[in-house]
Structure 1
Amino acid sequence: MGAAASGLRAWGEGSGGLGPAGVPGSAARVRLCHPLLGPWARRCLAALDPRSGAPVDERRRELAYDLGYFSAVAAVAAARAGIGFSTELTARDGLLVLPSLGALRTTGPRVRVAYGQGRLTLDRTSVFLEQGSGAWSGSLAWTSAYALPGLVPGAAPVPLDDLDPYRVPPREPDQYALSGPAAPDDAERKRWLQSWTGTAAVLRTGGEGRLTEALALLRCLVPLEMPPGSAGRGSCSGTRREAFGALLSSFPATPAAFAATLVHEFQHTKLAALSEMVELHRAGPEARYFAPWRPDPRPYDGLFQGAYSHLALADFFQRRALDAEPAHSATAWAQYARYHAQVGAALPALVASPDLTPVGRRFVDEMAAAHERLATHPAPSGHTARAQAYVKAVRALWTQRQPRGESH
């Protein structure tokens, strides 16, 4: 039986209760709902669009490879469900990736793959599935997938995915684009684990809801390289609309940095999902708005997204500042004051927009009300003054760079 057919059978047999191997739910459903399959699907659909501009032959070659990847997804689903199969899968650039299991380095374009009696055989390489994520093999040609432990005891492990071929969007000629994908070695994985281990405790200090949110939304982490020129001190992170539940991030140096990244990016995740369900505004894509957290003009939607995420960070750091001992609260107050001032500078343009829908108007009004509530517990005056001076200076510099009459 082919891998695709086995995977579909895994869907049918596992869709109610326990699958064939006693696995709760459906092994195929888990694979098809994995965040990083979204970018794969989008890429396949884009290849079918003649308006993409790419030559027809090139689009056909890429689509053939991309569609072949689905057989690897189906093979994993079948193996996870305990269904035997035998098929051939296509490697690319010397690598055959089996999502959630690992990757095999190979010299040939095709790999014979079979599963039975708890063992996966890739040509002559034997691989043994592990619970949840990863697979073990004694072969040096095999690299197992890696996962961080659950954020709290009893929670599902979180894949740290440095193998999926669709994990990072194509690079664009934009100086603010995400950095490239990283491939952490064992030492670097230990550093990720050290920061991750303390993240839950930090999230709790920013409000119990933040931890609940992380447990509900985070499905996988994609490691990124440190931004160029950061000398190890900078960071970058992002989410993708087509990969709901995936967080892309360079290494967070501390649990506090990890927690703040989660808070920030989950706001984008939530707002992107909401925007798919209801129309919040009808503003165009023109980049003409001032955003205190970016030196370049932003479109209205970008300003909306940024203000929403920075409002959450202001709330997070205010709670940390109020909860911390005086000796440790100064940093949190400084962060709170900066984010609160930034959101305050962005809200007038959001509120004044005639492009808001009735639902969007209510949403922005609630953001403004939340911003006012935060102001009832202000940061010490020194932090507030420095934050306001910073935003004023950034705005002045931004205005100087804009063509006359185009500042918002």
Structure 2
Amino acid sequence: MGTSCEAAEEPENSAHPLRPHRLDDVSFGMLCSAGEARPATRTLLDAEYSRRLLLLRVLVDEVCAHPASVGDLDPAREAWDLLARAQRQRPEAVHRLLMAPQTGLWAAHALRRLRGAQDEEAPLWSDVGGLHALAAAGAVLAGLDFRIRVPAREGAVLLPCLGQAQWDAREPWGVAEVGAHDGTARVRTQGEGPVVQVPTDAAQDGPGWTGLRRLSLSHRGLTLTLTVDDLARYPVIAGTAGPGRLDETALRRWRRGLDRAWRLLVEDHRDSAEALAAGLFSLIPLPPAERFRPRSASASEAFGCVMLSAPEAHVPDAEAAVELAVTLVHEFRHTLLNGLMHLTPLAEDCPDLFHAPWRDDPRPLSGVLHGAFAFSGVARFWRERCARDSGSARERAHFEFALWRREARATLEILHPHPALTATGRRLVRALLADIRSWDADPVPETTLRLAERAAAHQRAAWRAHHVVPAEPTVRAAADAWLRGTRPPLAVTDETGGDVVTDPAGCRLDAFAHLVRLRITDPQAFAGARTGGPRPKDVTPADLAWVAGERTEAAALYAEETARPAAWGGLGLLHGRRGVAERPELLRAVSAAIARGSGRIPPPAELADWLAAAWDDDGGHSGSGSMSQSARWSQSTA
């Protein structure tokens, strides 16, 4: 780093920080894969470090151009100079500091605020002052003697990569001083307030100090070091609450769970483990989630960070280890794709919304591409488990592999011809497709294949019933024909999806797959749910009956549940006739229109039979298509 608002120096033997990065063909080929590789990860890390330095340089230039943005803090130039001193003293420590996921989130947030693109309650200087806190943390790590003023929020000063000083405060926003002399660092409040000493090992708690703890997991010569960031100030997902501090019991539980997952990854998924060891830096812990439905997230500005829910305490250790391992792989693949997208665009702007089989809500093109990349890796993970697991664990692995192989391939085949993909994006999709198609001959039991097909169809039908709005003239014509007692109009066979309008009530649409997992891994719990015991959230008796193989019972129960949109999806699929199974939203909309016109709700099964006759009459008309095809490009962002 220089001595003024200019670009940073880089540690010896590394890429020049301001040199544009390009992926060589070997690294790009590794990324265009359903697997993960350490060399490609390191290439992205080099590029991300350059990007962080550029982002920091732009931010400092903006602050220097608007000196009032620092409020009562020291001038930005002084903070920059201190960070430069720290880098000269301990370049590797400052490198780690700048690559910390919270540094990326802070820098992007502060720059948006400086440019007026984002408002919030905190004063601007409090966010801009993250630069001063960054410099203070770098100086502590480098062992410098220094003093600098930093922002305090509700009596707390957060020093990146170190921890947080805390005291009672009456005001939400304030200024404190961080200083060090002869290796002892302290945080002082203004005036005669308290002084908090930073412990020699900052990861340890002390009087007024909460340390940022790290876990080091080692197995067979491979180590994963993670910051457990339960002090994170800038959210990975905008608008979400920050994590709560883990007590020692919860921290031990996380350590045990991660250790088991890491052993499994190193033993059975070595390439993935090597990539994770190189590029996964921090974990923001979330409370336990529902079984088979872990919550996780990542963000483009937080390279190497994953938000992740804790495994449930009552879940068997082996199941929890696999769930945690595959979720780490899943989110890390999002990190890799974010890194690639920082180097080159994969798609142009596109207004359409799409069905993504791993999500409840409609997704933009970039989101679907992200999911397809991530779930290609998920399918690969379960493919490996098919070869290594036994008993019910292997049965579940076969189901997950069959499901995600199918869903990732179907999504990629829809993406591949999309005109909004760039040449690089199309090359990525083509390579992922080649990987997945190479697994076509992998054996999966026939019954498991059928379950995967039904789970995929059930999720897609439920999604359409919630989010797809058919064309009003088609719905009105069909309702009028029913009320007149005539056959349905052939126009319904040309109805290819109408608009996509996000329904916030469309949640947990994976009910069928969720129940298949429960039936495989815990038959007793599944049987209990069938007989009145505890049921997973948003699972109904109809869903349970269908997964149990009771199709007639399930159809009757879905007919009683039609106030719930997803029930129309199940009803249409169980009806099993062309058109109706693929257009549950049309069946639902026509039923509602008939009820409005007559004051009576038509019997759902009778209506489904009647409407299906349109496809019987069309003589093989091709307008029905498949659900994934028909919802491709005619979607709206309304």
Q: Give, as a single letter, the amino acid of the residue that structure 2 aligns with 1:268.
A: H
For residues 16-55 of structure 1, the C-alpha deviation after alignment (integer angstroms, 9 at most, x for no partner) is: xxx3xxxxx3433321222211111111111123354x4x
Per the alignment, residue 56 of structure 2 pairs with none
Contact 1:86 / 1:115 at 8 angstroms: preserved in 2?
Answer: yes
1:182 is aligned to 244
Structure 1: distance between partners of 2:351 and 2:286 = 28
Q: 1:247 aligns with which of 306, 311, 315?
A: 306
Q: How many residues align?
A: 379
How much does 1:168 deviate?
A: 3.5
**Matched letter for residue 223 of structure 1:** P
- Alignment partner, residue 84 of structure 2: 8
1:318-337 aligned within 5 A: 318-326=383-391, 328-337=393-402
Q: Partner amino acid for 1:146?
A: R
- Give the match for residue 223 of structure 2: 155
Tell me what 1:174 maps to: none
Report the Cα distance in structure 1 between the residues aligned to 2:241 and 2:287, rounded to whole angstroms.
Answer: 6
Kept in 2: contact 1:129–1:136 (CA 8 A): no
- Unmatched tracts of structure 2, length 5 or more: 1-73, 189-194, 313-319, 471-496, 499-630, 633-638
Q: Deviations over 1:102-127 (max 9, x none)?
A: 11212353333321222212233322
- 2:164 maps to a residue whose letter is A
Question: 2:164 — aligned with what?
Answer: 103
Q: Which moved more, 1:256-265 or 1:145-154?
A: 145-154
Q: Deviations over 1:269-306 (max 9, x none)?
A: 1112112222222251432x222222322212111111
What is the aligned partner in structure 1 of residue 452 from structure 2?
387
Q: Which residue of 2 aligns with 1:71?
A: 132
Corresponding position of 2:597 = none
Whichever residue aligns with residue 200 of structure 1, its letter is: W
For residue 91 of structure 1, give the secondary structure of its aligned residue in structure 2: strand
Alignment map for 1:28-43 (pairs within 5 Å): 28-43=94-109
Taking structure 2 as the reference length, the TM-score comes to: 0.56
Contact 1:3 1:78 in 2 (8 A): no
CA separation of 1:164 and 1:298: change in aligned 2, threshold 3 A? closer
Flag the structure with larger Rg. 2
> CA shift at 1:7, angstroms?
2.5
The answer to whether 1:350 aligns with 2:415 is: yes
Q: Following the alignment from structure 1 to structure 2, what is the Cα–Cα distance between the partners of residues 67 and 167?
A: 17
1:299 aligns with 364
What do residues 194-227 of structure 1 show as CA deviations (whole Å, max 9, x unaligned)? 1011122221355321111111110111112346
Q: What SS does structure 2 have at the residue aligned with 1:291?
A: coil
Cα gap change, 1:354 to 1:399, in 2 (>3 Å): same
Q: Distance in 1 between matches of 2:401 and 2:241?
A: 27
1:47 and 1:62 in contact (8 A); partners too: no
Secondary structure of 1:355's counterpart equals coil
In 2: Cα distance, 1:169 partner to 1:303 partner:
18
Counterpart mapping for 1:305-324 below 5 A: 305-324=370-389
1:164 to partner: Cα distance: 2.8
Deviations 1:335-374 (A, max 9, x none): 2122112213323311231222222222211111111112
Aligned CA-pair RMSD: 2.4
Q: Give CA deviations for 1:240-287 in whole Å, capped at 9, x if unaligned.
A: 101111111111342222211111011111112112222222251432
* Higher helix content, 1 or 2: 2
Which of 270, 285, 300 does residue 208 from structure 1 map onto?
270
What residue identity is the alignment partner of 1:93? E
1:179 Cα deviation from its structure 2 partner: 6.8
Matched, 1:134 2:203: yes
Instruction: Supply the distance in 2 between the matched residues of 1:274 and 1:203 (Cα, whole angstroms).
Output: 24
Q: Give the match's secondary structure for 1:374.
A: coil
Distance 2:308 2:295 in 1: 6
CA distance in 1, matches of 2:279, 2:134: 22
Report the AA paired with residue 125 of structure 2: A
User: What pairs up with 1:12-31 in 2 under 5 angstroms?
Assistant: 13-14=88-89, 19=90, 25-31=91-97
What's the offset of the Cα at 1:154?
Answer: 6.6
* Alignment check: 8 A CA contact 2:232 2:243 kept: no
Query: What is the TM-score when the length of structure 1 is the normalising length?
Result: 0.85
Q: Deviations over 1:166-214 (max 9, x none)?
A: 144332xxxxxx6752322111111100101112222135532111111
Tell me the amino acid that sits aligned with residue 245 of structure 2.
A
- Partners of 2:244 and 2:288 lie apart in 1 by 8
Contact 2:216–2:226 under 8 Å retained in 1: yes
Aligned equivalents of 2:162, 2:463: Cα separation in 1: 48
Matches of 1:302 and 1:163, distance apart in 2: 28
Instruction: Name the counterpart of 2:295.
Output: 236
Contact 2:228 2:284 in 1 (8 A): yes
Tell me, which stretches of 5 or more residues in structure 1 are unaligned? 20-24, 172-177
Distance verdict in 2 for CA 1:399–1:136, change over 3 Å: closer
Between the aligned partners of 1:233 and 1:348, the Cα distance in structure 2 is 27
Verify the 8 A CA contact 1:292 1:391 in the aligned structure 2: yes
SS at match of 1:382: helix
Alignment of 1:367-386 (within 5 A): 367-386=432-451
Q: Is the CA contact 1:205–1:323 (under 8 Å) kept in the aligned structure 2?
A: no
1:175 aligns to what? none
Alpha-carbon distance in 1 for matches of 2:411, 2:458: 15
**Residue in 2 that maps onto 1:197:** 259
SS of aligned partner of 2:363: coil
CA distance in 2, matches of 1:364, 1:87: 49
Q: Please give the secondary structure, in 2, of the residue aligned with 1:89.
A: strand
> Letter of the aligned partner of 1:76 in structure 2?
A
Greater Cα offset, 193-202 or 340-349: 340-349
* Equivalent position of 2:210 in the other structure: 143
> Is the 8 Å Cα contact of residues 180 and 224 (structure 1) preserved in structure 2?
no
Other structure's SS at 2:271 match = helix
Q: 1:338 to 1:151 in 2, by over 3 A?
A: farther
Partner of 1:340: 405
Over the matched positions of the two proteins, sequence identity in percent amounts to: 28
Q: Secondary structure at the match of 2:144?
A: coil
Q: Give SS of 2:356's match.
A: coil
Find the residue that maps to 2:223 and give its secondary structure.
coil
Aligned equivalents of 1:304 and 1:290: distance in 2?
A: 11
Instruction: Report the 3-state secondary structure (helix = DSSP H, G, I; strand = E; otherwise coil) of the residue aligned with 1:155.
Output: strand
